[in-house]
């Protein structure tokens, strides 16, 4: 049997153009491979936790994301000054920006991600939908390209039938989306979704798609190399969402269950699409699956996903390591698809600095941090005492992952892990996760993307006097900081 990992041919200097837990994760992978991990520090986060895991660190001047992590010329300049061989963007920020991949390629700096053409083709939801349809991948009925006006949106919606989804052509993460159940709602929401999309992604173009009611969000992890090989690493279920953003993921999908024919069909479909764009890195093909178990292509994320650890746990494959190896044209050590096996079940809870009931961001200061986990727990995080979680960045501070030989055991371990995760001084969604792990709908695996909205686990989060006083104190501190 081939070994999965090989030592690199030569040591490279890898800049991590990101922060938080994903920067820590990438730094560890670089060091394991013998490369030099170069971290970034900025003026609004000079003592970032990820720097402790890097071999070197460099300053990226600026106090806003626009001046730092989203500033392509500044990062290119930094790469030249620091003699950087490659850049790993993690997720978010510039990870799916074609301009960034092209700028690095122009300077002969390796982009640890797919080739810029794949980023371009799959980064636009309209383009990717046309491509998917051309290679026989099922797509949701709707507009084949950006819809220019309210009138055109109404015409398409009347043709395919309501409800429909107004959806940003660019971006992701659940932003720039609105369900419409009538002509009137399209008229009410069209311009608002355009503005939101323009603000979030710099592109206000919209698509109109048939809205699949009570869907399951199923995604397939793929990995390609420079030799034209593309493999899948099975699927993940990501249907527990708030505001169209995931908070709990698990692998394999409880909805697909033991239907191996369906599992094989959706996974090979994802590989087919990746092969069509000559995909050569880690990526995720996302699908919507209805109650009838028919699935439709949603989008492709041309980067590593937040939830990649659960796939690593059930396959034993380090996806970040493989991304780096693929980017440098090295062997992955995977002889064929049959070599990749899955064992057990894994669940991930995203730990966010947010109110567990309203699920809105709740910036604050970590005054204490400790863990007491059972076996089979992994915590990818950037938490430490005196961490100041600000509104400048995503509120996620960590990812709690539980693995069990079967799903019931993974759930049991997650319950125990949540009880053993202590983050003081910061309001988090840990209480919400505790409720969900005890909820029979989740335990039965019968949930869909409407779970939070319809079953309202947030309403069962206990509001003790202790927490009520604590939350009021935090609210007062934040109001004072904001000059209110």
* pLDDT interval class at 8 (50, 70, 90): low
Instruction: Return d(Cα 282, Cα 88) in angstroms, integer.
Output: 12
Instruction: Return d(Cα 484, Cα 476) in angstroms, integer.
Output: 9
pLDDT for position 475: 54
pLDDT of 479 above 80: no
Contact assessment for residue 14 and residue 88, using Cβ atoms and an 8 Å cutoff = yes
CB atoms under 10 Å from CB of 407, counted, come to 18
Stronger pLDDT, 44 or 466, i.e. the higher one = 44
CA dihedral 114, 306, 365, 418 (to 10 degrees): -160
| Integer-rounded Cα radius of gyration of the chain | 22
pLDDT for position 6: 54
pLDDT of 474 above 80: no
* pLDDT interval class at 2 (50, 70, 90): very low
Angle formed at CA 5 by CA 378 and CA 252, multiple of 5 degrees = 45
pLDDT for position 179: 93
Classify 101 as helix, strand or coil.
Answer: helix
Q: What average pLDDT does the segment 409-438 reach? A: 98
pLDDT for position 464: 61
Any idea how long the chain is?
484
pTM of the entire structure? Answer: 0.87
* pLDDT interval class at 253 (50, 70, 90): very high
* pLDDT interval class at 202 (50, 70, 90): confident
Instruction: Return d(Cα 180, Cα 165) in angstroms, integer.
Output: 6
pLDDT for position 46: 85
* Span of 19-33, 54-68, 160-174, 415-429 with lowest mean pLDDT: 160-174
Instruction: Return d(Cα 345, Cα 343) in angstroms, integer.
Output: 7
pLDDT for position 1: 37
pLDDT of 5 above 70: no
The full set of domains in the chain, from first to last, is: 13-112 (3.40.50.20), 141-210 (3.30.1490.20), 216-470 (3.30.470.20)
pLDDT of 480 above 60: no
pLDDT digits (tens, 9 = 90+) for 320-346: 999 999 999 999 999 999 999 999 999
* Span of 15-29, 94-108, 391-405, 467-481 with lowest mean pLDDT: 467-481
Spatial strand order in the sheet of 164-168: 177-180, 164-168, 206-210
Which tokens belong to 142?
């709707």
* Of 222, 258, 245, 76, nearest in space to 173 by CA: 245
pLDDT for position 478: 53
DSSP 8-class letter at 184: H
Which residues are part of the catalytic machinery? 303
* pLDDT interval class at 481 (50, 70, 90): low
Please state, for a pLDDT cut of 70, what percent of the chain lies above it.
93
Contact assessment for residue 218 and residue 236, using Cβ atoms and an 8 Å cutoff = yes
Q: What average pLDDT does the segment 268-275 reach? A: 98
pLDDT digits (tens, 9 = 90+) for 369-421: 999 999 999 999 999 999 999 999 999 999 999 999 999 999 999 999 999 99
CA dihedral 292, 297, 300, 304 (to 10 degrees): 20
pLDDT of 171 above 70: no
Instruction: Return d(Cα 326, Cα 330) in angstroms, integer.
Output: 6
pLDDT for position 3: 44
Stronger pLDDT, 283 or 9, i.e. the higher one = 283
Of all helices (H) and strands (E), which one includes residue 269? Answer: helix 260-276
Instruction: Return d(Cα 359, Cα 466) in angstroms, integer.
Output: 19
Q: What average pLDDT does the segment 263-267 reach? A: 98
Alpha helices in 316-406 (DSSP H): 319-327
pLDDT of 469 above 60: no
Alpha helices in 58-182 (DSSP H): 72-81, 98-106, 116-123, 125-134, 150-160
Contact assessment for residue 283 and residue 222, using Cβ atoms and an 8 Å cutoff = yes
Instruction: Return d(Cα 39, Cα 92) in angstroms, integer.
Output: 16
Which residues lie across from 167 on neighbouring strands? 177, 207
pLDDT of 472 above 60: no
Alpha helices in 85-223 (DSSP H): 98-106, 116-123, 125-134, 150-160, 183-201
pLDDT of 240 above 50: yes
């Amino acid at each position: 049997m081939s070994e999965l990992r090989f030592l690199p041919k030569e040591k490279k200097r890898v800049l991590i153009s990101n922060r938080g837990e994903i920067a820590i994760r990438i730094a560890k992978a670089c060091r394991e491979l013998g490369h030099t991990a170069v971290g970034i520090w900025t003026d609004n986060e000079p003592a970032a936790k990820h720097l402790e895991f890097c071999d070197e660190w460099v300053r990226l001047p600026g106090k806003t994301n626009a001046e730092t992590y989203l500033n392509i010329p500044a990062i290119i300049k930094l790469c030249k000054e620091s003699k950087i061989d490659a850049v790993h963007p993690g997720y978010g920020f510039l990870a799916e920006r074609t301009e960034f991949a092209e700028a690095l390629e122009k300077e002969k700096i390796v982009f640890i991600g797919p080739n810029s053409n794949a980023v371009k083709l799959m980064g636009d939801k309209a383009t990717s939908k046309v491509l998917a349809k051309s290679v026989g991948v099922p797509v949701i009925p709707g507009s084949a390209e950006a819809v220019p006006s309210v009138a055109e949106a109404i015409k398409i919606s009347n043709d395919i039938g309501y409800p429909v989804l107004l959806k940003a052509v660019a971006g992701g993460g659940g932003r720039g989306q609105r369900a419409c159940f009538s002509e009137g709602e399209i008229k009410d929401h069209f311009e608002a979704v355009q503005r939101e999309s323009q603000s979030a992604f710099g592109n206000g173009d919209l698509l109109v798609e048939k809205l699949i009611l009570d869907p399951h969000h199923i995604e397939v992890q793929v990995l390609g190399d420079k030799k034209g090989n593309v493999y899948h690493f099975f699927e993940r279920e990501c249907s527990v969402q708030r505001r169209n953003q995931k908070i709990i993921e698990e692998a394999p999908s409880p909805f697909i269950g033991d239907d191996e024919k369906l599992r094989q069909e959706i996974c090979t479909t994802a590989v087919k699409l990746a092969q069509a764009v000559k995909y050569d890195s880690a990526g995720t093909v996302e699908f919507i699956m209805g109650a009838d178990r028919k699935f439709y292509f949603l989008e492709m994320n041309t980067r590593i996903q937040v939830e990649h650890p659960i796939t690593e746990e059930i396959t034993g494959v380090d996806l970040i390591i493989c991304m780096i190896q693929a980017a440098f044209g090295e062997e992955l050590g995977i002889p064929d698809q049959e070599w990749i096996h899955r064992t057990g079940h894994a669940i991930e809870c995203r730990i966010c600095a947010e109110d567990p009931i309203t699920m809105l961001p709740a910036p604050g200061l970590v005054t204490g941090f400790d863990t007491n986990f059972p076996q089979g727990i992994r915590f990818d995080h950037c938490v430490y005492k005196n961490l100041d979680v600000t509104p400048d960045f995503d509120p996620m501070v960590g990812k709690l992952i539980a693995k069990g030989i079967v799903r019931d055991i993974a759930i049991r371990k997650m319950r125990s892990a949540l009880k053993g995760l202590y983050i003081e001084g910061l309001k988090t969604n840990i209480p919400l996760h505790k409720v969900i792990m005890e909820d029979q709908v989740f335990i039965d695996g019968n949930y869909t993307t409407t779970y939070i909205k319809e079953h309202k686990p947030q309403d069962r989060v206990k509001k003790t006097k202790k927490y009520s006083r604590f939350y009021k104190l935090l609210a007062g501190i934040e109001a004072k900081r904001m000059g209110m």
